[in-house]
Structure 1
Amino acid sequence: MLQHLLETTLRQTMNRLVRPALHPVIPVSVQRTLISQAYRSSVAPRGCRFQAGTLAGRPVIKSSFGQATRGVVLYLHGGGYIIGSAATHKGLSGHLAKTSGCLVATLDYRLAPEHPFPAALDDAEAAWQALIDEGFAPEHIAIAGDSAGGGLAIALAMRLRDTHQPMPSSLTVFSPWTDLTQQTLYSPACEPVLQARWTAKAATLYAGDESLRNPLLSPVFGNFQGLPPMLVQVGSQEILLNDAERLASAARAAGVKTQLEVFNNLWHVFQVHSGQLDRATAAVATAGLHIREHLAD
């Protein structure tokens, strides 16, 4: 009963505070400030440690919980490639550090419109290489991300494969944005977070002169052969439900071991409420298990 009330309260909060901030007429600079405040409600588990630094010349926050392990997660935050940061995602990255037993390195990749495609992808690839240079074996590195960061995680894996680089141990994506053309957006009865007009504007700002069908922008149009095991989580109350389902279908068709989880009556990147909402906590626990199970011994 209490969890149902909490879900209702959080849904209303997203609808009244977050969704209005994600309106295309609001300047990106203002949205960055508003969303950074909204993420204050996402709290890391007690005992989680954070270390700010740089990775491949970009700011990074490394989250850890308990004793150090052999694994690291390169985490790519969401925000339509135009907002968000490692700081906004400390709560989620902290819970993922706890459930995975890994160090979680959340990268502040460059954002559009100041830095359009392929800046974010270039930064993610450089961070991957920097982790290897720090001594992490590729099979001990997982890649994860949410929303735009989920799409970026898939795009990074595709680029690594296509350039004959070692692959990560696994991919974990929350509410991934994988089709920037938005031609098959889902239409839920309730969408507490995203507005299609805002995501359309964000897609244009990030893509610049590049075609939105470029698989490194919209991975759903790409080749999934040879990608590592993938976990995809999505809520039923979000316009990106089809993106997640099409991603999972394409990956499975290419022979990629893929687990798709659809959470009824939950919203875009509900995992940020881990530690408060039981179903969000359970989802991140599943993500941590997926990461642990695919790290090399």
Structure 2
Amino acid sequence: MSFIAKIYEKILMSTKPEYMDSHEKINEFLAGKEDQTPKSIFKSFNFNGMEVFQFGNRKSSDRTIIFMHGGAYVNEINYQHFLYCWLLSRKLNAYVLAPAYPLAPKHSCNETFELITDLYKEYSDDNLIMMGDSAGGGFALSFCQYLKTIDLNQPDNIVVFSPWVDISMSNDYDSSNDPILGEVGLREIGKSWAGDLDTKDYRVSPLYGDKEGLAKTLIFAGDNEIFYKDIEEYVKNAPDVRLIVGKGMFHIYPLFPMPETFTSFKEIKKGIM
């Protein structure tokens, strides 16, 4: 772990949301959560009522990326995501789309599946990559399993960072070393996002889905994060997946501006060629 990564870890630990480790706080948070329109200096367009931020130029790009942002399905896309998508567009010569999809608790996964399916169809003839971090990474994996059930082609590649692959949280967890996430908050948020679905339905927990026939997949994860055991389990039962482990690293570490991030870009370039 680099010196800069250690600094980020300490900062994140000091700002970890209280609701991640408290039943009372998470219930208060969900009860008071309102939909917010994200603001950005980057261009966007309206797609069936969903704002989609865009980075780069489709005509001059080598590939199109649909990037599903993280935030435990309750937090809006933020400037960390905007800046990372901008970097993706520059370093991979990509046209990047980052949809501000409907969030829990006012919305559940079914609405987002419909919107992203329509968006995916619009760009399915491109050299297309499904990408996402955390909850968005979990959604990307679930969505690609879902594509098989509606006879749509797989993307050319899948790249995800610390994906939330089991919202049922069925493993044994220790969140004391995770500076971002906590088991208590995740369990309640997972139920809200699932809506009428079982929390082990593949559409919300890709760990339990059919992983055969998915696109070539690249997964980044820190071995010090709460999701690490679940991600390892996912990889064991998935045929065309490469897992890159950040030793001592925390959740979604490649999205932070530090040496490990630029190493991850090199791995992404190799993985999608």
Q: Give the aligned residue type for 2:10.
A: Q
State the SS of the aligned residue for 2:169: coil
> Counterpart of 2:236?
249
**Alpha-carbon offset, residue 50 of structure 1:** 3.4
> Counterpart of 2:271?
290
What are the residue-to-residue correspondences of 1:139-178 with 2, within 5 Å? Answer: 140-178=127-165
Q: Deviations over 1:95-128 (max 9, x none)?
A: 2222322111011111111111212222221210
Unaligned runs of 5+ in 1: 41-48
> Counterpart of 1:120?
112
Alignment RMSD (CA, Å): 2.7
Q: Distance in 1 between matches of 2:32 and 2:10?
A: 22
What are the residue-to-residue correspondences of 1:263-282 with 2, within 5 Å? Answer: 263-273=246-256, 276-282=257-263
Q: Give the aligned residue type for 1:10.
A: Y
Unaligned runs of 5+ in 2: none
Q: Give the aligned residue type for 2:265.
A: V
C-alpha distance 265-153 of structure 1, shift in aligned 2 (>3 A): same
1:240 to 214, 219, 227: 227
Q: Distance in 2 between matches of 1:50 and 1:29?
A: 31
State the SS of the aligned residue for 1:27: helix
2:18 to 17, 20, 34: 20
C-alpha distance 96-21 of structure 1, shift in aligned 2 (>3 A): farther
Q: Distance in 2 between matches of 1:74 and 1:108?
A: 11
> Counterpart of 1:43?
none
**Alpha-carbon offset, residue 88 of structure 1:** 4.9
What are the residue-to-residue correspondences of 1:213-224 with 2, within 5 Å? Answer: 213-224=200-211
Superposition TM-score, scaled by structure 1 size: 0.81
Q: Give the aligned residue type for 1:194.
A: L
2:56 to 57, 60, 64: 64
Contact 1:178 / 1:220 at 8 angstroms: preserved in 2?
yes
State the SS of the aligned residue for 1:209: coil
Contact 1:60 / 1:86 at 8 angstroms: preserved in 2?
no
> Counterpart of 2:42?
50
* Percentage of matched positions with identical amino acids: 20
Q: Give the aligned residue type for 1:77.
A: H
Q: Give the aligned residue type for 1:220.
A: L
Superposition TM-score, scaled by structure 2 size: 0.88
Q: Distance in 1 between matches of 2:226 and 2:211?
A: 23
Contact 1:55 / 1:130 at 8 angstroms: preserved in 2?
no
**Alpha-carbon offset, residue 243 of structure 1:** 2.0
State the SS of the aligned residue for 2:199: coil
C-alpha distance 65-16 of structure 1, shift in aligned 2 (>3 A): farther
Determine if the alignment matches structure 1 residue 202 to structure 2 residue 189: yes
C-alpha distance 270-141 of structure 1, shift in aligned 2 (>3 A): same
State the SS of the aligned residue for 1:118: helix
Q: Deviations over 1:135-170 (max 9, x none)?
A: xx15x1110001111111011111111111121101
Q: Distance in 1 between matches of 2:133 and 2:255?
A: 10
C-alpha distance 17-29 of structure 1, shift in aligned 2 (>3 A): farther
Q: Distance in 2 between matches of 1:19 and 1:289?
A: 35
C-alpha distance 230-157 of structure 1, shift in aligned 2 (>3 A): same
Q: Give the aligned residue type for 1:114.
A: K
**Alpha-carbon offset, residue 91 of structure 1:** 1.6
C-alpha distance 263-188 of structure 1, shift in aligned 2 (>3 A): farther
- Structure 1 stretch 11-20 or stretch 263-272: which is displaced more? 11-20
